[in-house]
A and B are shown apart, each in its own frame.
Chain A
Amino acid sequence: MLDQKSDYTEGLRLFYLKKYDEALPLLLRAAEAGDVKSQHFVAMLYENGNGVARDYEKAAYWYRRTAESGDREAMLTYAMIRALGKGTDADAADACHWATLSLHSGNEKARQTLSILRAQAQDAVRAATEAFTAAHKAGDAEEAMRQLNIAAECGSGNAQFALFQLLYDGQGDVPADKVSALLWLRDAAEQGHAEAKALLATCEGQA
């Protein structure tokens, strides 16, 4: 842990001195040891080609590692990478997934980006809706839930409202999660879902 921290501190010092080629090995070592901040800088170095040949694939890899650790800024960055297909396949649904996570983690900056990403993800909504229907008919609740989440993340107001209802009290094997439920309610309202708008207005009126 101490090495990891000192590698990060020294690596950061060198980074700000623009000695990128000296900073990279230290930050990389700390990143590989799991230091999230170092992961973020390594991703930037690969993305910008500082101190190393530009490598979008490696940048994407490190942005993903950072996002997975719960860094809401990295989630948004990785969402853009997935949308643009920089160093990875372009994937509108995954882009929406990470941008939604970022927004739901409290990153208000993600809201505008997400609205743009969702506007481009209508095919993904259709595919997820069809997959949901098939899974639901087959009685595969787990897969149905996964597809419902994809449809919601990609901007289906109906899916968002369904998730709100499902999570608010819990259903079957899905436990109640009122915080997530209300985030989906807000999303649905912003998508223009009439019932969500009315319900949210009522909730806010009572607050």
Chain B
Amino acid sequence: MIYLDHAATTPVPGEVADTVRDTLVHQFGNPSSQYGIGREAKALVSRCRETVAQALGGQPGRLVFTSCGTESDNFAIRLAAWQGRHTGRHIITTAVEHSAVLEPCKQLEQEGCSVTYLKPDKNGNITAAQVAESLRADTVLVSVMLVNNETGCVFPLREISDVLKSAGSKALLHTDAVQGFLKVPFRADTLGADLISVSGHKIGAPKGVGALYLGARVNAEQAKKHALLAGGGQENGLRSGTEATAQLAGFAKAVELRCAALDEALAHMAAIKQYALEQLLAIDGVVRVGDGAAPHVLAVSLVGYPSANIVEDLSAQGICVSAGSACHRGKASHVYEAMNLPKKVQSGVLRVSFGPETQESDIDALAAALKRHRDTRFPML
């Protein structure tokens, strides 16, 4: 199998799987229990929190573990809307966010909030100036992803944060950094975002674990009154429920492995992306979609050839790529629609995404299969 869909999920390294298994079998205590294995489990959770917080460039005490990026996004958006409820009910986000952001924003619209959806340019980019133009006195949340999951475009969080500061806005800045974490270097303490969502399975951890980082402007004590899950008070009272120790251990191990060779991995992915760009654009009929700078995501289109057919055809040959985002299979991508791409370009978009394991030979196989598809299939009229 040739796996070129690392933006959807990533292979779990053997060491991570071993850690998960070891935790399940040997460290199965409940972190809330007062006896030995409970205390060990509590210490384990604490170590995991330190590891992930360190990789994020933030403080462990501000990190809340969740079950996934979607949960982190939902929690962040709800929390920000609640914290700002006396200031206003206006939210700014982008039209190209993951549905984990767009859907809770739509829910809040149903509850009386107004939401401004910033449109990207034809290359998929959003600017801080767009945020400045849309900012209002009653804006309570700006939610802009760090890296777009379909185009790989990196959005200017630092500049957006500066816009909010210079305007004296009380709005919290949330970023869905699920595609940016350990792919596009940043530090929580300098990025300028107040809420940062990340996910484990995009970096080699098992599925079922994520985190939300709460910056200094988030009132954690107040937030407890609007906890995601009320109960036994775990996760600093923000998300009750027995901690998923095995997933957390896997998450921390995956972070450790990535961080241990981060520079090499990023350089390797960037080189692979450049190679893929050259090989794929050399195929007559293939165009680039967007100008995403993230090292692990490349969007291209085989113009006029429905991407669902391509994905099926490649899949039959053991090559895994995504038709746009894997999260909305079968539906037209809202990202490419928002970019106002011609219909035939939109129809043929493929997202190719890389990991530290990706080899040039994988790209060669993809290019050959794509060319074969073009030569044997019939495009849209």
Report yes or no: A144 in contact with B306, Cβ–Cβ below 8 A: no
- 0/1 interface trace, chain B 310-322, chain A, CB 8 Å (1 if under): 0011001000000
Report yes or no: B312 in contact with A194, Cβ–Cβ below 8 A: yes
Contact stretch, chosen from B193-201, B326-334, B373-381: B373-381
Chain A residues within 8 Å of B312, by CB? 194-195, 198
Residue B309 interfacial (CB < 8 Å): yes
Report yes or no: B313 in contact with A141, Cβ–Cβ below 8 A: no
Chain A residues within 8 Å of B313, by CB? 195
Chain A residues within 8 Å of B306, by CB? 165
In the complex with contacts A165-B306, A194-B312, A195-B313, A158-B380 CB distance below 8 A: no
Report yes or no: B376 in contact with A145, Cβ–Cβ below 8 A: no
Report yes or no: A162 in contact with B378, Cβ–Cβ below 8 A: yes
**What's the A-B contact tally at a CB cutoff of 8 Å?**
31
Report yes or no: A158 in contact with B377, Cβ–Cβ below 8 A: yes
Report yes or no: A158 in contact with B379, Cβ–Cβ below 8 A: no
Residue A84 interfacial (CB < 8 Å): no
Residue A202 interfacial (CB < 8 Å): no
Cβ-closest chain B residue relative to A165:
B306
How many residues of chain A are within 8 Å of chain B by beta carbon?
A: 20
Report yes or no: A145 in contact with B381, Cβ–Cβ below 8 A: yes
Residue A42 interfacial (CB < 8 Å): no
Cβ-closest chain A residue relative to B312:
A195
Residue A136 interfacial (CB < 8 Å): yes
Q: How far is the CB of A148 from chain B (nearest CB, A)?
A: 6
Q: How far is the CB of A132 from chain B (nearest CB, A)?
A: 7
Q: How far is the CB of A191 from chain B (nearest CB, A)?
A: 13
Report yes or no: B381 in contact with A166, Cβ–Cβ below 8 A: yes
Q: How far is the CB of A134 from chain B (nearest CB, A)?
A: 13
**In the bound complex, what is the Cα–Cα distance between A158 and B306 (angstroms)?**
13
Q: How far is the CB of A174 from chain B (nearest CB, A)?
A: 7
Cβ-closest chain A residue relative to B309:
A195
Report yes or no: B309 in contact with A166, Cβ–Cβ below 8 A: no
**In the bound complex, what is the Cα–Cα distance between A136 and B377 (angstroms)?**
13
Q: Which positions in B face A, CB cutoff 8 Å?
A: 306, 309, 312-313, 316, 376-381
